Structures are given as structure tokens and as C-alpha cells.
Amino acid sequence: MGQVFGHHLANGGAAVTFCVREPHLEEVGSGFSLYRLRTARRAPPPSRTSGFAAATLETGFGGVRFDQVWLTLPSPLPGGEWLSRMVSIAAGAIVVSLQPGPEDGAALRAAGIPESRLVRGLIGFIAYAAPLPGETLEGSGVAYWFPPGMPSGFWGARDGVEAVLAALRRGGLPAKRLADAKGVVFSTPVLMSLVASLEAAGWSARALGAGTRLATAAAASREAFAVLARSEGPVPLGPRLLARPWLMRWVLRAATWLAPFPLEAYLQRHFTKVGGQTRHLLERWMQRGREAGQPVEALSRLLAAGPSSGR
């Protein structure tokens, strides 16, 4: 995700610096190979992108002042010393948080990022380390796809959102303002429940649709809705419609047909990598439900089925 955002921000004229672990400094310095996929299933040529600076939190950034700091880590954000150093680097900058967990924004505010500089984002594209099993490309790199009609969405500090949208649009990345976070907040349980159920089915869409796992995913989504409604208000119509087994099955089939890459292989690779995020969100909804005396049986079954705990 960071490579794709960095590439398009640079295309729009931004000077981009990557904050990475020390083993990746040389990789950033030599540049990246990106494959922008189209809906047609033809393998695209690689686009070589370079000219980025790189540093680590430990070595620092030489006093550079940033206009925007983008956080492309999975949820939950690391705390402690990591967060303190990041907040110091982001002094005066717009901070763009792309984590789906509701506590991440609160953690940033508690660490010293004021609401006036905080922008939350919903990633509207798919990106992965390519090639996937069954995929043919000219080499290795990061492949990404902008699904039609699904721009990345941003909400939060008004001036911050406008600056983020302007930077992305200059670089050719589809983006829009979201009026509020409700759609994102209530859509996340549907995605996480579906992913956890798909993992329990061995990452096979056919196996997922053959048993009762879709019914469990839908029930877990509705349990999470009830938990979230206590703080967020009524559940929007869209997520309520999505939390139905037959519609989940249809969406998965449609996505498999539309995606210009092996969808099951992508889901396995990506959500195994961020499995800690899936488990964290499911556990948080279950914990909050139990504290409120609400039903959480389906969430409990999903967790027992074993979403990956890797990070």
C-alpha cells in the first residue's frame, strides 16, 4: 500500500520519503517495480519508480519537516516508543491514518496528534507482492488494481482532507471525501468476518459457500453491528444488506470474476500477512459485546476457527 500511495504522490510532484526498517533502506533507494493491473486479464509491463528518500525511526530524518505523514501499517498501530517517535517526526504535518480499527484514531489523538491534523482513510484499491501463484508477470514487484467506481475515501480535518485529495488526484490516484466514517465503521465487520470464514475454509470460495460458514460470517457481522451501534448510532442500510449469506456469496463470485488476478491466492497472501489485524478486530468486538451483555456466539466461533495471528 505504501509503495502505491508513494508512487502516485510522487507522480503528483511530492517529494516522498519512506520510513522503513533498516534492512529495506537499500531496496527503497534502488526503486520499485509496480504493475498496474487493468480489468482485462493481460499481464502489464512493469513501471519502474525511483527517486525516493528513505530513513528509519531510529536514525531519524535529519530535521526534515513533512507536510503529510502517511501510516500504512495494519491495525492496531504500535504504541510506546514507536508512536512517540512518529509523533515527533510528524510535528506540524497532516497525519493520514489508514488503519480500520476505531481505536487507532484515538491512540493518535492521545499521543498528541490534534483532530485538526488527523485524516482517516479507506483504501479503495488492492495491492500485493507479485506474482501470485498462477499469475504470470515479467518479473516480481508490487501489483495493484483500482476497482471501477471505488476511489479511496478520506474524512476528518477539512483542510487536511482537501490537501490529501489534491495530492492524490495530481498523481492520478482516484480519491474522494467521505462525509463521515459510519459506512467504513460498519462495513469493516462484514469484510473481517468474511475473511475469517474464508480462511477457515482453506481460502477456497467454493468450500466457503458449501457449508454454514457464510451464515456464521453474516451472524458475526450482525453481532459486531450491535456492538458498534452503541457508540456509532444506527447501522447504515448498505452494511445491513451485505450481512446476508446469499449476498456475501454473490459479492465473492462477482469479485472473483472481475479481479484481473487470482483472487483466492491474493486473499490468502494479504490477509495471512495482516492476520493479526483480523484477530484484533474480532476480539475487540467480542470483548465489547461481552462487557455490554450482548450476544457474541458467532464472533466466538470465528475466532475459534483460527484467523492467522501473524503480523
CATH number of 51's domain:
3.40.50.720
Q: Are residues 113 and 6 in the same domain?
A: yes
In a domain, 311, yes or no: no
Instruction: Report the pLDDT value the prediction gives residue 45, as an integer from 0 to 100.
Output: 86
pLDDT at 168 over 80: yes
In this prediction the pTM is 0.91
Q: How far apart are CA 37 and CA 40, in angstroms?
A: 8
Q: How far apart are CA 68 and CA 93, in angstroms?
A: 5
Q: How far apart are CA 64 and CA 93, in angstroms?
A: 11
Q: Are residues 54 and 163 in the same domain?
A: yes
Q: Are residues 73 and 13 in the same domain?
A: yes
Q: How far apart are CA 191 and CA 254, in angstroms?
A: 15
In a domain, 243, yes or no: yes
Q: How far apart are CA 146 and CA 258, in angstroms?
A: 11
N-term to C-term CA, the chain? 15
Q: Are residues 267 and 192 in the same domain?
A: yes
Instruction: Report the pLDDT value the prediction gives residue 307, as an integer from 0 to 100.
Output: 61
Bridge partners (DSSP) of residue 35 are 143
pLDDT at 310 over 90: no
What rounded mean pLDDT belongs to the chain?
93
pLDDT at 41 over 70: no
Instruction: Report the pLDDT value the prediction gives residue 102, as an integer from 0 to 100.
Output: 75
pLDDT at 120 over 80: yes
In terms of DSSP H, where are the helices of the chain? 2-11, 25-30, 80-89, 102-111, 158-170, 182-200, 205-210, 213-232, 237-242, 245-258, 263-273, 275-291, 297-305
In a domain, 116, yes or no: yes
Instruction: Report the pLDDT value the prediction gives residue 308, as an integer from 0 to 100.
Output: 57
In a domain, 233, yes or no: yes
Q: Where is the domain boundary, 133, 148, 177?
A: 177
Report how many domains make up the chain.
2
Q: Are residues 9 and 131 in the same domain?
A: yes
What is the residue range of 20's domain? 2-177
The answer to whether 163 and 92 have CB atoms below 8 angstroms apart is: no
Q: How far apart are CA 12 and CA 15, in angstroms?
A: 9
Please enumerate in sequence order all residues whose Cβ is within 8 A of that of 104, keeping only pairs 6 or more positions apart, or say none. 75, 76, 77, 97
SS3 128: strand
3-state helix, strand, coil in the chain (%, to 5): 50, 15, 35
In a domain, 102, yes or no: yes
Q: Are residues 284 and 205 in the same domain?
A: yes
Q: Are residues 34 and 81 in the same domain?
A: yes
Query: Mind listing the pLDDT tens digit for each residue in 205-229?
Result: 999 988 899 999 999 999 999 999 9
Q: How far apart are CA 167 and CA 161, in angstroms?
A: 10
Query: Mind listing the pLDDT tens digit for each residue in 26-35?
Result: 999 899 999 9
Average pLDDT on 134-143 reads 90
Q: Where is the domain boundary, 177, 211, 239?
A: 177
Instruction: Report the pLDDT value the prediction gives residue 43, as an integer from 0 to 100.
Output: 76
Helix (H) or strand (E) holding 306: none
